[in-house]
Amino acid sequence: MEAYGPNLKLKHSLGARRPAHLAWLVLGRRLDAPPPVPLSTDPLLLPRRAPAFGSDAAMASPAAPIPDHQAPLPLPTVTDEILEDILLRLPTPTDLARASTACASFRRIITDRSFLRRFRVLHPPPLLGFVNRQGFHPAEPPHPSAPLAGALAGAADFSYTFVPTGRWIEPWRARDVRQGRVLIECVPEFTVADAEKFSLRDLELAVCDPLFRRYVLLPSIPEGLTAPLARPFDFESFLAPTAEDEDETSFRVICTAWNDTTLFAFVFSSITGEWNLAASPSFSSLDTSPPHYYNEFTSFCFVGNCIYWTRPWVDKLLVLDSLSMEFSVVNSVPSSNLRQDNLKSHVVAGENETPLILFLSDRNEDVSGDHLHIAKLNVSEPADQWKLEKIIPLPRQYSYSIICADKEFLFLQGIPKEYQNSRFPWEEYPFREYFSLDTKTSELKRICGKKRYFFDARPYFGFPPSLSEPCI
């Protein structure tokens, strides 16, 4: 399969002969073929030789017409509903993309929003790569999504040149990715020492669709909403997931910030086009204290409709329900496992969206390689009574760190162990491998190899361009 754009047809692997093969296989013939002539031994239906000129047969009256009950019966018409049920049973998005090039009726059905929504329920969109500040990094062969990822890379603009330049010199850079949308920001470069000079009104945000080159510029958060915050110590912005009953082109952006007493959550809705202050609990009401360090809310994990932060405290988890917009704190996390380091722990989705917390073990004399420890997130039991669900050993030739998590997947960076004792500092290792780990099946897949560290990467799940619709 070759790369293709949103306005180009995918080349069919069968070459020039590409009939409506799916219905042909099911119904026994092509949809556009004439009805087959039935075989028969009836002399009236067999071809006859023309009679000789001047013979009695030539002078005879014409043969009687074939009775209607002997005429070939037309085959029943295949309805759109039947074709939809057939196409929904295709095993992968790659097969569906191939079927969409077979004929116009297939493409009309497959590109319909209602059909694609049904297909996504049965077949979640595959992982196509990573998005970070440097752009899109597609999955590489032999990853099964490599052809689709290459098609997306060739069709989309992850440099965001179609978005108007902000008031800052800095270019747009990605902050979050979800359901085909990319949240991008433009902020002035500043150091920790300059943080006191920064206001949320200095933050410029936009939500864009890199494939169809659409965008929405978000207004600044009104000063009346940010007045209680004064000067924030830290802030973070991300996309909230779109619910199944919501319009697929609508979206919400959540921005969190905190000062020395209070935690704030602002929400922008594409429906109203406005920001509102959704939550502002004090740290004391959450029975905790403010984080000790700047930049503590940059690492987060989505499970269902909840956002989890593993970094601000060594023995607690901060949780935000994106529907009710209520904060809570999980106090029973084993502090011996949860580190003040987002490279060691994350939260992912287990069976029935049950939150699972993962700890990447340290290597020691008793362990020959890295191991991933998985436990159910239990808010009712003391930390010393938490039970491990499973332990997953990782291949020994790499040293691992966690870069992000999404759904049931954990994304890992692997540095070949031959670099561990080299003269290179960790941020300058010559090569790194990036993997996805399905925590339900324990399957580890290589995604791509890079020379730089993806400290701000987010996974991109999606369908090939020919099966995609604008998401803004």
Q: Domain residue spans in the chain?
A: 21-58+71-119, 126-298
* Residues whose CB falls within 8 Å of the CB of residue 54, separated by 6 or more in sequence, listed in order: none
Of 109-113, 274-278, 417-421, the range with the lowest mean pLDDT is: 417-421
Of all residues in the chain, what percent carry a pLDDT higher than 70?
69
User: pLDDT, tens digit, for every residue of 313-334?
Assistant: 767 788 999 999 999 988 767 6
Amino acid at position 76, single letter: P
The pLDDT value given to residue 436: 95
Q: How far is the CA of 371 from the CAs of 136, 140, 442, 458, in angstroms?
A: 29, 25, 12, 23
Is residue 358 scored above 60 in pLDDT? yes
Packing angle of the helix pair 93-100, 146-155 (nearest 10 deg): 60
Is residue 367 scored above 80 in pLDDT? no
Is residue 364 scored above 80 in pLDDT? no
Q: What's the average model confidence in pLDDT over 123-128?
A: 91
Residue with tokens 């209520």: 326
Tokens for 447? 């995604």
Is residue 101 scored above 90 in pLDDT? no
Distance CA 88, CA 197 (A): 54
Q: What's the average model confidence in pLDDT over 290-307?
A: 76
Q: What's the average model confidence in pLDDT over 365-390?
A: 67
User: pLDDT, tens digit, for every residue of 218-233?
Assistant: 999 998 888 887 766 6
Tokens for 87? 């196409």
Quick one: pLDDT band at residue 35, thresholds 50, 70, 90?
very low
Quick one: pLDDT band at residue 214, thresholds 50, 70, 90?
very high
Of all residues in the chain, what percent carry a pLDDT higher than 90?
30
Q: What's the average model confidence in pLDDT over 236-262?
A: 87
Is residue 394 scored above 60 in pLDDT? yes
> Where is pLDDT greater, at 438 or 39?
438
Quick one: pLDDT band at residue 43, thresholds 50, 70, 90?
very low
Is residue 58 scored above 50 in pLDDT? no
Instruction: Look up the pTM and report it.
Output: 0.78
